[in-house]
Amino acid sequence: MSNLELKKANQMAAIDLLIHNPELSKKELAEHLKLGESTIHSWFADDRFIDLYYKKYMVSFNSKLPMVLDSMIREAVEGNVQAGRLVLEHSGKLVKNINVTVDSPFEKFLKAEQIDAEDIIDAESEEIKEKIETLPERNKINDKPLKRKISEKKAIERIKKGKKPSQEKLREDRASRYALLQRAKKVGLKPLPSRRPTNSERRKWLKKLEELESKQRQNLQA
């Protein structure tokens, strides 16, 4: 492997570590990669490295948005009004400050055909009534609006910020990922993608790693 290829591989490994462990300092990053701290500082002074880091981070960021939205939807279904508003705004179903000053196509149709609007409204009312009767049971927390408002704000903040794992757990995760990275390097296996891999991708990658390690041991024994 040439020096340029080695540098690129180290940079990709650094970006992967930073994406999944944004709290890592440059010193800790250098220790993980077994490189000089000055090397890490030089990368962060390189616009090309920063651009690549940003692009990879945005891929990881966008991959998490569906999970965030799904969490918001679950909160909304449970009756969290603020979560419901955010979901509707995200989907374009909630539009603020709109004044309609023209007849709708339905109103124009009624005027043109001179249909008795009351008959139609009665039919729609029956349909709405049926839907209302199938609504879920009212959440009792609605009886205490102030308590609910505080609870909803806390739930939204937890979703936005995410729960931070303990420092011990973070260290264990970093050590585990670093060990896997070193094993992959020894057998020439590309690291997992910088975005958070799916369980299926991770299982396939680990299986491939074990196969390559087994093959390497066999070659050494031959």
Tell me, what's the pLDDT at 90? 75
Where are the domains positioned within the chain?
3-45+165-221, 66-161
Quickly count: other Cβ atoms within 10 Å of residue 196's Cβ.
15
- The answer, as to whether pTM is greater than 0.85, is no
Tell me, what's the pLDDT at 42? 93
Tell me, what's the pLDDT at 80? 83
Tell me, what's the pLDDT at 133? 47
Mean pLDDT for back-to-back runs of 10 residues, the chain (222 residues): 84 89 88 91 92 88 80 81 79 62 59 52 51 53 71 72 58 77 86 75 86 84 70
